[in-house]
Amino acid sequence: IKYDSAEFMTSAAKYSQCPADIGSEVAFAGRSNAGKSSAMNTITRNSKLARISKTPGRTQLLNFFTLSGGEYRLVDLPGYGFAKVNKNMKADWEENIGEYMAERLSLKGVVLLMDIRHPLTEFDRMMIDWAVTAEMPLRAVLTKSDKLKKGPAKSTYLKVQAELQSKAPWLSAQMFSSLKKEGVPELNQWITEQLTD
Ligand code: GDP
């Protein structure tokens, strides 16, 4: 799969607006500021790719990107956990993402971005529990690994990895840094495995 071929396809404000549910896609989830856009830009070697997801009016949408000329897709899910997200926005988010997660047959895996300094928030645990129940492959990506020294970064990774593996064999973790370009081949390989399995 050619990751540098990624192209913006379309946005969806709700489940019914998603593109046809055919082929395979991997979705990216995480709380706002987790480093999701940076990670998507890094793995596609396109520094502007996820900018589209951040333009006003698009932050609450599901944004679809095609790979390899349309055969595969990456999906940028709306960031969760704005400090002052109001109740309606939260309900909307849960409804739309919940429906997408529950219904989408072409969804083959979820990449869950977590700042390595603040892993496993309440939202992250919700997503993980869902992946366990749905038997959905999930890759926890510990972003901004450059922000910690090697020792503390490794021990956080080992702790998260152990917790995930104790829950289900289809959950795994890795470290990642967009700044240092660390963990890029590992993440690309994991996504390829889910898309082509
Ligand atoms: P998003 O809201 O999850 O899409 O997060 P962004 O990708 O916009 O990143 C949020 C902030 O974290 C920005 O200020 C980024 O520059 C910073 N950031 C993202 N990835 C890294 C990284 O690997 N290392 C460091 N040091 N900062 C990062």
Average pLDDT for 58-67: 86
**Cα of 157 to ligand 1 centre, how many Å?**
18
Task: With CA atoms as reference, report the closest residue to 98 among 80, 122, 73.
Answer: 80
Task: Please report, for the domain that includes residue 162, its CATH number.
Answer: 3.40.50.300
**Cα of 16 to ligand 1 centre, how many Å?**
31
Residue closest via CA to ligand 1's atom 21 equals 144
Q: What is the pLDDT of residues 142-196, one digit of tens each?
A: 999 999 999 999 999 999 999 999 999 999 999 999 999 999 999 999 999 999 9
Cα angle: 34, vertex 40, 46; to 5 degrees:
135
Whether this model's ipTM surpasses 0.90 comes out as yes
- Counted domains in the chain: 1
User: Does the CB atom of residue 78 touch ligand 1 within 6 A?
Assistant: no
- Which token pair is 110? 């979820």
Q: What is the pLDDT of residue 60?
A: 72
User: Does the CB atom of residue 104 touch ligand 1 within 6 A?
Assistant: no
Query: What is the domain extent for residue 121?
Result: 3-196
User: 167 and 133 in contact (C-beta within 8 Å)?
Assistant: no
Q: What is the pLDDT of residues 68-112, one digit of tens each?
A: 888 899 999 988 765 455 677 667 777 778 889 999 999 999 999
At 61, is the pLDDT very low, low, confident or very high (cuts 50, 70, 90)?
confident
User: Does the CB atom of residue 41 touch ligand 1 within 6 A?
Assistant: no
